Structure 1
Amino acid sequence: MPIAPPPRRSPFLGLLPWRERRAVAEALRTETIGGLVLLFAAVVALIWANSPWNGAYEGIRDLHLAIPSLGLDLSLGHWAADGLLTVFFLVAGIELKRELVVGELSTPATAALPVIAAFCGMAVPAAVYTVTAWAGGGSPDGWAVPMATDIAFALAVLAVVSTHLPAALRAFLLTLAVVDDLGGILVIALFFTSDINPLALGGALAGVVLFHLLQRFRVRGWWWYVPLGIAIWTLTYHGGIHATVAGVLMGLLLRSTPDKGEERSPGGRVSHLLHPFSAGIVVPLFALFAAGVSVSGPALTEVFTRPEPLGVALGLVAGKILGVFLGTYLAARFTRARLNPDLAWSDVLGLSVLAGIGFTVALLIGELAFPGAAVGEQVKAAVLVASLTAAALAALLLRRRNAVYRRLYQEETVDADGDGIPDIYQSAPGTGGPCRDVLSPAEKP
């Protein structure tokens, strides 16, 4: 009896399955637009904070808004970091759940490379910071600041420099950022807690269990989930754990696969509704209040002379590049993954440099690591300097290969028959027959 040949494995950074490509394209389209708004908000914050009207900037940022019924009295900057940013982490939790269930992280074979790359991309920057701070006699508290990648900022850089990066490279970057976000929220939950209130945390846990049961028994209606979500967030905040953790937990609990007769899953519907709000309003508002730091000559000098900001800058640029690239390369060699023959390891290097753009989560962790301290402002300045440096280096590397990316992009998007599905997903090159390895029967038109 003849033995059937093993199924062909797609090469690393090869053509994405059609369903995955559509999901990635939708997510990245919103993130790119949001990233451009984020860049604008960061520039406004920097100009405003360094202008003669910086007093007005600080006054608005520090203006308090109280909700007595919830026991909350926070500044606008605090509301942006603890409140609005929860929506960002809710969307991140939904995206992580989708990746775990149907995306790149759904099987060990496909998850190995991005997970190892992301882990190395978090561990090496943290080590670089720790060594730098130790050598300079600085505080070790900021070790987690250079761990995160800001996908919106990175995609905005790609849009500004007008690269035609293939979908697989963008998807790999998105997966890296999703795992980074998970790492960031775990760090926040485990290492940046204060004055734990067991009673409040118990109430938050009970709310999370109720949220899970509502999803399990297919209870629908925003009037159930919105008040419950606010209650979970409030109890988490009063429990002493950073309230954004509540957003990730609720995102992970939302069902990510549609039932029969459903066009979208609950997670898909919530993400579709909140993703534009998160990318276009939530993150830019946080950046507006968090990125307003001094960029005078003495302030910039301190970035390179004090151990804490220097550790952050080196961690984001050198640490991220080394961690992501070497992690990806060694994982590919260990798993015997075959790189897409149309690409080169220099393309992975370009992505590794792009991963050094750590803005939103890096600024958030910087505020938590150095609350109210002068070094906290220096760390923020280091995040900005390092992110701009990584963006410039990545633009140079990726633009150098843009002719290759443009050709691959055109091959992936040509739709001669106008049926809405690129031709490459319907026929194998040179055969005219169905390309079964790429487009499943359920996905064919």
Structure 2
Amino acid sequence: MRILVVSCNPWRKDNSIGNTYTNLFNGMEDIEIAHICCGGGTPDVDFVKYHLHISERNILKNLINPKHKCCRIITSSNQDMRALDKRKKAVDFMRSHRLQLFFLLRDLIWSFKNWICDDLKDFVDQFNPDIIFAHFLDRGYLNEMLFFLKEYTKVPVVVYAWDDVYTLKQFSLSPIFWINRFLQRKKLRKLSELSSLMYVISEKQRMEYSRLFGRSCRILYKGYDFEEQPTYEIKNQPVKLVYSGNIGTGRYKTLALIGSALHEINRDGIKAVLYIYTSTPLNLKMRRLLDYPESIHRMKSVPSEEIAAIQQEADILIHVEGFDLKQRFKVRLSFSTKLVDYFYSGRCIFAVGNKDIASIEYLSKNHGAVIAYKKSEIIRKLSRLINSPSLRKKYAKQSWECGWRNHQRKHIQSTLENDLKTLLHGK
């Protein structure tokens, strides 16, 4: 079975797309994968052999000089790395400043469609996919690529939704946001209609999207081989708290609340320290809010293999969501894939967020974490955890058991493989 995966990001171990897709597909028998990346960066996985790179930079260059190629195979040569690193810095700036006009301009660049070229067609023809698998995302250029691939190959399309990219239950005062929202809704509706299968990330999203799109959606989680729970040894002094992952969508504000609580807890001596590992570019506001030198240590982003070891060295793993209305609406259907990493580490989880958010709702239903639903609960519940090793052990066990029940990788891969084979037989 040949699967063509399409995404906006490179297939890497240190981003959520690559990490999750590797978790889902690596180890499945009798599959071959090719990848089309509609964005910058370089891949770092071995089992995906074929990567095609298309960027708006090359699209613009092709408009000026038709001899310049829009599409190319990604390599790890120094020249490629330098060019892609420059683009990454520009995109990081846009991400940190949330310049939505940039994203509209990016869609405009892709609308010229000069990227539909012989190189792209040759790449697809040579791989000859049986199935196209892609992120269900509010990115016009990604969806235009999927519309072309569906028409060109006539093979089934499978989409995977991680966030609420469709409903109008959002909050923004920006007219650009709403213009983009309505434009993308039309394309997402069309993508849903032409796709043969739609996966979602949470039970809450399954219920809403099944109703909105008039179809049966299926939940697809990340998984691990949960066999034996790691031993939790109480040895860190002070107590070590670890947060790893994206701190956007208001999460940095909640981490700052934890920093404030730790500052109070540590008033008579350092009892606990929070270590934050993130690749999110930090602006001045983020740095200022997280400025608790004795209670918060901001760490550089590290490879996923190192993060796994860091999580197992922790006493408490932190999961947070934003409390602002805008951020709550943005993540209300989402389930953070790093929670499965947390479960697998067999460590106590302390979560902070409103109870109507899917990830918090999941942790509550499965008794997988100590949860502060309100800002006022943070210091009390966190103090209790820091001062009670037995409570940390109890929730470490419950966290791992949640993963054992719901995130067995062999079951997830078996279900995914059966679904895809059913599509092929249907074709």
TM category (shorter chain) comes to under 0.3
**Scaled by the length of structure 2, what TM-score is found?**
0.22
Q: With CA pairs under 8 Å and 6+ residues apart, which has the higher RCO, 1 or 2?
A: 1
Greater strand proportion:
2
Greater helix proportion:
1
